[in-house]
């Protein structure tokens, strides 16, 4: 079932996209109608105006999802499931043609020959003016100057069509002819070419580790594939062409000899160490440029014209043969499109780092699968599940072992038969360490629970300690003045700055991570409770006082309700900040948790996993906030009505 769903994810994505489009258009229609209906009797700035309006929420979510589908190429895969395979075949042509294209002004502005000739001439120019003084004899200097000069002439010879040999011209024409033949093949169309049975059984785009199926699955794809295979040989032929003619060969041989005579010959002047170095470096530089030219890969501009036209024609024909696919590529594949590398076709552009919604769902389902032997979970822990928690473990956690150490008597030893003889202290120790059976209770388990647990415990401590302290700071001079400097001193420090200390104080267990989150929550809770308490209207306190309320009653019935809106806003803010700090906290010593998954996924650039963790954190945060909104609605219904 899961397999079938996974294989057909493109179709489900298509249905989802259609649904989203309908929802988008429909929600706008409802929204506009509703707005028109209410436009007359509403006042700008009235809080009632922001109530309701769920259709705009539908509109927003639909728009976000559609943008996601589009930029992740999810829409492309849903509507044109075979496009990637065909584009991959076309990318193969691009790859096979790359050696020829690189010599032409296709992806660059100039011919490669032009670039080589100009760049090396400039370097020769620089070289001829920078000959070091005193390390060459006059004769040697003359010979080197001649070498530089001849290399320059060599560039001129290679660039001049008059000196291009017939053989070279024939080879170039031959490549041109082969390119024209292949263009003809493309023009003739696929005919009765059929994809191989092997190709048709490939897994579909994005459903397996191989992102895009490599073998052509359509007859047009087969045609492109054939052409690209033949192009490999054409490119090889092209690369083996050398612009050699008798004159050029003579020039190369004589220049090489000249350079060698200086290089190999004994220096004719006395040299110190630095001099020898300078001499060697200069000869090397001359030789290096000469070596670059003596491959004879510079061709006259005119000679390349034919091939340039042939390649342009071939590319144009590929574009024609693409037909509608070209428009699909331009509109549905934002980015660089599909690129063929050595072993596979990959998505380059936003499709690479933004996984498709359907793939994210599949990754999430795999991760959430509680059957770990079946590939579920992550690094040996489930995403969210339950387990039996032994009560003895909790007791063992609460009961420090050192108490047993303080009891009188000794621990057991092994007896003469080699068997352990426990004393009463050993039994006590087993209890303190949780090695006894006291029954079990069901408990949540997994990465999400671990993260949630850390946040919830930190929040609970933050609220329990922060709110009373904050309220007392709001009403008592002693509390305010005593705690104000302490709180204000640590509050502005970003939680990450504490991280290195936490690690060495608390170690790698949960307590350190919880403490880090607690510090974040505590400061926010104190500030918000204090602001709430000190913001109570004086008239209310005076009124209750003159009606005979005790201090306790004033605190409970006047100040606390007045501080409640601020406190609850503080809770909302601190939960958000806690989630933000969680990733950092779990980076300290990661074993489980959502932040841990993200940290590990980051090291291997596993974008699907990264997005899954981002979404989980976002959704959990949203869930918290919805709960808080409900709580706020229940606890302080008078908010904003004063």
Partner 1 sequence: MKKFTTRYIAAAASLAMAGMAGTAHAADSVNVAFFLEWATPNQIAKVDKAYDDAMGVDVNWTDFSTGVQMTEAMLAGDIDIAYSQGLAPFVTAIQQGAPLKMVSIAVVYEANDCFVASSLGINSSNASELEGKTVAVPLNTMADFSFRKQMAALDVDIDTMTIVDQAPPDGAVSLADGSVDMACIFGGASAKAAGEVGSPIMSTQEKTDAGIGSFDVVSVTESFANENPDLVRSFLEVTHEANAAWTASDEQIAKVAADAGMDVATTRNQMAGFVFPTAEDQTSNFFGKDGTAAAAAESLGLVFKKPGAWNVDEKIAKVMTGEFIE
Burial class (CB in 10 A: 0-12, 13-18, 19+), 89: buried
Looking only at residues 343 through 362 of this chain, which bind partner 1 when binding is defined by CB under 8 A? 343-344, 346, 348-350, 352
Specify whether the CB–CB gap between 587 and 595 falls below 8 A: yes
Specify whether the CB–CB gap between 298 and 117 falls below 8 A: yes
Decide: is 209 part of the binding site for partner 1 (CB under 8 A). yes
Angle between helices 301-322 and 83-103 (to 10 degrees): 170
Q: Segment contacting partner 1 (CB under 8 A): 32-40, 496-504, 536-544, 557-565? A: 496-504
Distance CA 44, CA 247 (A): 88
Per rule CB under 8 A, count of chain residues that contact partner 1: 55
Q: Which is nearer to partner 1, 160 or 509 (CB)?
A: 509
* Contact code string over 378-407 relative to partner 1, x by CB under 8 A: -x----------------------------
CB of 504 to partner 1, least distance (A): 5
Among 338, 469, 521, 588, binds partner 1 (CB under 8 A): 588
Q: Which is nearer to partner 1, 68 or 596 (CB)?
A: 596
CB of 108 to partner 1, least distance (A): 3
Decide: is 219 part of the binding site for partner 1 (CB under 8 A). no
Distance CA 142, CA 148 (A): 10
Could you tell me the two tokens for 613?
């963790």
Decide: is 4 part of the binding site for partner 1 (CB under 8 A). no
Among 504, 538, 546, 637, binds partner 1 (CB under 8 A): 504
CB of 65 to partner 1, least distance (A): 18
CA end-to-end distance (rounded Å), the chain: 57
Among 153, 201, 481, 509, binds partner 1 (CB under 8 A): 509
HSE of 370, CA atoms in CB hemisphere, 13 A:
8
Decide: is 604 part of the binding site for partner 1 (CB under 8 A). yes
Q: Which is nearer to partner 1, 228 or 562 (CB)?
A: 228
Decide: is 414 part of the binding site for partner 1 (CB under 8 A). no
Helical (H) or strand (E) element with 592: none
Among 288, 387, 542, 556, binds partner 1 (CB under 8 A): 288
Q: Which is nearer to partner 1, 281 or 460 (CB)?
A: 281
CB of 476 to partner 1, least distance (A): 40
Taking the CB of residue 588, how many other CB atoms lie within 10 A of it? 18
Distance CA 592, CA 597 (A): 7
Looking only at residues 82 through 101 of this chain, which bind partner 1 when binding is defined by CB under 8 A? 95, 98-99, 101
* Contact code string over 55-84 relative to partner 1, x by CB under 8 A: ----------------x-------------
Q: Which is nearer to partner 1, 155 or 463 (CB)?
A: 155
CB of 119 to partner 1, least distance (A): 5
Q: What angle do CA 532, 537, 543 make, to 5 degrees?
A: 130
Phi, psi angles (nearest 5°) of residue 128: -70, -25
Distance CA 9, CA 2 (A): 10
Distance CA 496, CA 93 (A): 51
Q: What angle do CA 37, 42, 43 make, to 5 degrees?
A: 155
Taking the CB of residue 362, how many other CB atoms lie within 10 A of it? 20
Cβ neighbors of 137 (< 8 A, separation 6 or more) are 267, 268, 269
Binding region for partner 1 (CB under 8 A): 71, 95, 98-99, 101-102, 107-110, 115, 119-120, 123, 208-211, 285, 288, 292, 334-336, 339, 341-344, 346, 348-350, 352, 375, 379, 500, 503-504, 507-509, 587-591, 596, 599-600, 602-606
């Amino acid at each position: 079932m899961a397999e079938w769903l996974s294989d057909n994810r493109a179709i489900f994505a298509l249905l989802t996209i259609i649904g989203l489009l309908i929802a988008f258009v429909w929600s706008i229609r409802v929204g506009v109608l509703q707005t028109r209906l209410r436009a007359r009797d509403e006042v700008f700035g009235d809080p009632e105006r922001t109530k309701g309006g769920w259709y705009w929420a539908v509109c927003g979510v639909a728009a976000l999802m559609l943008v996601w589908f589009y930029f992740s190429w999810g829409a492309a895969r849903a509507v044109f499931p075979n496009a990637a395979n065909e584009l991959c075949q076309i990318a193969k042509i691009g790859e096979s043609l790359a050696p020829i294209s690189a010599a032409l002004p296709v992806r660059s502005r100039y011919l490669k020959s032009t670039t080589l000739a100009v760049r090396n001439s400039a370097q020769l120019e620089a070289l001829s003016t920078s000959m070091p003084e005193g390390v060459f004899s006059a004769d040697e200097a003359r010979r080197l100057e001649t070498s530089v000069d001849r290399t320059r002439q060599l560039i001129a010879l290679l660039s001049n069509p008059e000196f291009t040999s017939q053989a070279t011209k024939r080879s170039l024409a031959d490549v041109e002819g082969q390119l024209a033949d292949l263009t003809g093949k493309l023009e003739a169309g696929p005919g009765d070419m059929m994809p191989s049975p092997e190709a048709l059984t490939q897994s579909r785009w994005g459903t397996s580790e191989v992102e895009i199926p490599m073998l052509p699955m359509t007859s047009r794809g087969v045609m492109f594939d054939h052409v690209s295979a033949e192009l490999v040989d054409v490119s090889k032929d092209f690369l083996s062409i050398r612009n050699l003619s008798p004159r050029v060969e003579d020039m190369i041989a004589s220049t090489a000899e000249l350079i060698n005579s200086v290089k190999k010959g004994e220096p004719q002047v006395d040299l110190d160490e630095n001099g020898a170095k300078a001499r060697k470096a200069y000869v090397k530089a001359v030789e290096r440029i000469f070596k670059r030219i003596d491959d004879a890969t510079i061709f006259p501009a005119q000679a390349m014209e034919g091939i340039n036209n042939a390649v342009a024609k071939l590319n144009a024909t590929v574009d024609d043969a693409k037909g509608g696919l070209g428009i699909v590529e331009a509109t549905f594949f934002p980015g660089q499109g599909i690129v063929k590398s050595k072993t596979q076709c990959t998505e380059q552009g936003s499709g690479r780092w933004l996984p498709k919604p359907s793939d994210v769902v599949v990754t999430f389902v795999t991760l959430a699968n509680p059957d770990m032997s079946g590939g579920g979970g992550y690094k040996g822990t489930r995403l969210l599940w339950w387990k039996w928690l032994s009560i003895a473990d909790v007791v063992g956690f609460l009961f420090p072992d050192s108490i047993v150490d303080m009891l009188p008597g000794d621990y057991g030893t092994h007896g003469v038969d080699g068997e352990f003889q426990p004393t009463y202290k050993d039994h006590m120790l087993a209890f303190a360490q949780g090695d006894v059976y006291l029954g079990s209770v069901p408990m949540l388990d997994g990465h999400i629970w671990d993260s949630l647990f850390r946040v919830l415990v930190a929040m609970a401590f933050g609220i329990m300690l922060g709110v009373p302290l904050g309220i007392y700071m709001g009403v008592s001079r002693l509390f305010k003045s005593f705690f104000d400097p302490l709180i204000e001193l640590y509050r502005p420090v970003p939680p990450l700055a504490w991280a290195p200390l936490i690690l060495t104080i608390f170690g790698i267990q949960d307590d350190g991570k919880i403490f880090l989150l607690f510090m974040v929550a505590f400061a926010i809770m104190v500030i918000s409770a204090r602001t709430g308490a000190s913001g109570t209207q004086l008239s209310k306190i005076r009124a209750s006082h003159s009606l005979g309320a005790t201090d306790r009653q004033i605190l409970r019935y006047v100040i606390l309700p007045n501080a409640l809106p601020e406190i609850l806003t503080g809770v909302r803010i601190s939960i958000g900040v806690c989630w933000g700090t969680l990733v950092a906290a779990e980076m300290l010593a990661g074993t489980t948790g959502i932040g841990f998954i993200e940290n590990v996924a980051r090291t291997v650039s596993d974008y699907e996993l990264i997005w899954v963790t981002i979404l989980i954190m976002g959704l959990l945060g949203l869930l918290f906030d919805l709960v808080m909104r409900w709580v706020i609605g229940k606890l302080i219904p008078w908010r904003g009505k004063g």
